[in-house]
Structure 1
Amino acid sequence: MKNTLFLLPIFLFINISCKKECTDPLCQLPPATQTGANTMGCLVNGQPWLPDTRDNGGIPRLKPIYVSFWNTNTEFFFQFYLQKTPISQSIVFYIKNFSGIGVYRMDSLTRLIGPPGSSGVLNNHFNFSENKLGLEYATGEKFHGVLKIQYYDATSKIIAGSFNFKAGNIQNPSDSVVVTHGRFDCKMD
């Protein structure tokens, strides 16, 4: 019995120190929370995609995670913007007639040209861009997605949820991007 008690701490130490890091891409995504942790992540074509939160050496740039609402006279829009550098990719969600917690089908191909009220027309859709390469992918009639708002608190300005989508290249419809296991927990600006 004494030998067992003596060996137990040694066994635990060896077991803990020998644990291997998880190689599954899902391990690299932030946990799904609802606290306003300002996190977001997803898999893009099976690879982890996270916002770049590193210091940019004092050079101004867009915030890596940005959530805002736009309000026009007739419609209420929710925009979620995320940018990753140095490859300058972004994911944007547009929700027409946002109503809080719920499931939003993202199946309209539209482009934003300026703020609401300008010549641009918004409908529910996802957009994935590789800005340096000039590539833009969007959901539409052929490619769809789902955005689930699982937590929304207008008072504390917290929004959290999940998303999945497949988007087609606007310039080359035979090219597409698949985004899965998306999750976000953000404070709104």
Structure 2
Amino acid sequence: MWLRNLRLPFAIEICCQSGRCQVSEHRRSKTLDRGACIRMPAYRKFRLEMPALTPGSDFNALHLALSQEMSPVGPGQADTQRWSDDSSRPITLRVARAVFAEPGAPWSRPHAAGALKMSAQWLSAQMLREGSALMEIVREQRLMRVLVDMACNDRVGMQSGPTYGFCSLEQLQSAFFDRFGISLDRYAAEQRHCALTWSGIVLSAASTGVAS
């Protein structure tokens, strides 16, 4: 299994628990054998590749843990309330964190400005300065939230699952494939052979529905 265009709004530690995997970013790549770890900075785009199993090979298991940069407030939890309140972070990262925390919210410019407690004009000016586009960030981080949630619950891809702000399940499925190069159903199926687990972050399922 391989996943392209991964970009999370917080730093993570990627650890190979079993088998082997490859982490690539820009022009660099690193192979992780069992027990090896690598830290990925916040909002860095990367790719994961977990080779197909061969007879006699180890089961591939990869664990992604929220960095200590985001202080945990309890077992398996993180203080998501302050993600979008860190004034030392670029506006792009603040917006990305806010969208990841509430992917189903109606992320228009006024809504984003209100969530970050700033004027819509100032938000637009800062994002222009950083070379970012609001709707691109919204689409990207909604899909990243789907990916993370599916690692814990493959029913996200079912007909009755949430749509994370997308107009329909079909639109979500198409966007997921375009982004990661794998379908929702195949990703869920691959989880049985290439375990991708997470720790350090628990977010409410109530924030993943269709935006009004």
Normalised by the shorter chain, which TM-score bucket? under 0.3
Task: Name the TM-score, length of structure 1 as normaliser.
Answer: 0.26
Structure richer in strand, relative to its length: 1
From the CA coordinates, give the structure whose radius of gyration is larger: 1
Structure richer in helix, relative to its length: 2
Task: Name the TM-score, length of structure 2 as normaliser.
Answer: 0.24
- Name which structure has the greater RCO, CA cutoff 8 Å, separation 6+: 2
